[in-house]
Amino acid sequence: MRKFTLLTPIILLILAVFSCELPISTTKNGSLSITLPGAGSSAGRSAMPNTIVGTMVYKLDLTGPGGNRTIIAKSGDNITVDLEPGKWNIAIEAYYFNQADFDGLTGDSAFWIGDEDPAGIGDTETTVKPGRHNDVKIPIKVTGNLPYDVIVTTESSAKGFDNLAAALDSINDGNKYTIMMLEDQNLTPRILDNNKQITLVSMFGGEIEIKLSGQGSLFTVGSNSELTLGEGITLVGLNEEDDLINNNAALVIVEGELTMLEGSKITGNKNDFPMSTGTGGGVLVGNVGKFIMKGGTISGNTADNYGGGVFVRGDGEVIMDDGYIANNTAGFAGGGVAISGEATLLMKGGTISGNTAVNGGGVYMSEPYSVTFTMSGKARVVPGEDSNRNEVYITNSVDYITVGELTDFSDDEEKVATIRLSIWGGYVQDRTVLVNAEGGDYVSLYYNRFTVVPNDPDEYIIDENGLLQVDQ
């Protein structure tokens, strides 16, 4: 087995993206060295009228006989990797965050470890064979980075910080900020107010865990502020199994706007505060809050009372386009989602499954006001293994499910939800359970996609008009 060494000395970085060539040299013993060009190199000199002393942050992906290797390195690192004999390919991504629309552009090359010399290898500029080429160059566009684990960017600036807490402390206005993280973070509860607009992302696309440190809500999004969780961002709360202590609040409180993108997660929070405060394990959407779930997963959260996954109240709104609300628990009602007041759950897609509560394991529609719950598209509240898991619970005689066009059925028998009604006057012949969304006669098309939990001794069905009937 041979070794090659990546030499990445400190360099001078330019203030804008530039094109250069990346020298690669090899030796007969299979040692591969990569040197990034600096201000004095012919590749970069003409492109660097202004320079700063900084550190490149870049990713190296190696693919070859020994499998795949990924290395994230900074200038100044010396990295030695054992490689099996044979052909290896290397792809390099380098980043410079002095502008919001940065590009991570790749350079690719191939080299051989050992004495193999197949025909054609080494004959092109982008191929390196030990002992055959020296100072072979491959084209690459280099962007760069400041020497920090957290980078904050706007449309016109960038600044580095040692941790997420310091980065958040620096944001004091209503500009749009993107915060990029290289490593996991611990964070005490934070209030995002004053019109802040913040997007959290992983610097290289891997999972970044932001762990709550101390009781409280990890993020409270103020009424005029916005928070977006990008791919790879995982918010982790407190629970006695992992932390020896439970939390006393929802992991995220939303009075402004929260958006989850595909690949993001909210997990591991147990809100065991008693009485009304024990609402919302993962997310609590406040009176005028808005939560848009474009993807991602809310799972493994618990609320002592209502809304293990999500609790929405007042005039709050949850729009679920995609994603999963799964395996959450509420002590009383709404294991997945609890809706109260005059709040709205607009489910255009996504899946609510495997959640548990005494009432409404999946979705709980609370009295005494009239809430709105609409299902369309690929929306599914997957029936559980027994009658008390993941159902939709309708408490009010004036509440119902609004049905739009439903799509993507796996077969003719697939159900979109199981409905449980209140035993105190909920099971009334000819009561309305389903109504049409605007623009179509959807209930007559999909009424048989809904089932009703029996109320002993009677079994119930929903007819083509959306009315409850005893099953004769």
Together in a domain, 91 and 121: yes
Range ranked top by mean pLDDT from 26-40, 137-151, 326-340: 326-340
Together in a domain, 101 and 187: no
| Under 8 Å between Cβ of 158 and 99 | yes
* Domain boundary pick from 126, 142, 158: 142
Question: pLDDT for 451-460, tens place per residue?
Answer: 999 998 999 9
Closest of 282, 57, 33 to residue 133, by C-alpha: 33
Mean pLDDT computed over 178-193: 93
* Domain boundary pick from 142, 177, 205: 142
At 448, is the pLDDT very low, low, confident or very high (cuts 50, 70, 90)? very high
Spatial separation of the C-alpha atoms in residues 431 and 237, rounded to whole Å: 41
Together in a domain, 188 and 129: no
| Percent of the chain surpassing pLDDT 90 | 54
Together in a domain, 88 and 187: no
Per-residue pLDDT at 248:
92
Instruction: Name the residue range of residue 130's domain.
Output: 2-142
Mean pLDDT computed over 98-124: 35
Together in a domain, 157 and 95: no
At 222, is the pLDDT very low, low, confident or very high (cuts 50, 70, 90)? very high
Spatial separation of the C-alpha atoms in residues 24 and 76, rounded to whole Å: 17
At 85, is the pLDDT very low, low, confident or very high (cuts 50, 70, 90)? low
Together in a domain, 40 and 94: yes
Mean pLDDT computed over 177-205: 92
Together in a domain, 231 and 370: yes
Together in a domain, 81 and 166: no
| Under 8 Å between Cβ of 224 and 232 | no
Together in a domain, 257 and 304: yes
Angle at 5 between CA 13 and CA 67, to 5 degrees: 105
Cα→Cα distances 270→232, 242, 329, 355, Å:
22, 11, 9, 14
pTM (2 d.p.)? 0.74
Closest of 415, 304, 418 to residue 361, by C-alpha: 418
Together in a domain, 119 and 170: no
Together in a domain, 402 and 292: yes
Number of domains in the chain: 2
Together in a domain, 260 and 399: yes
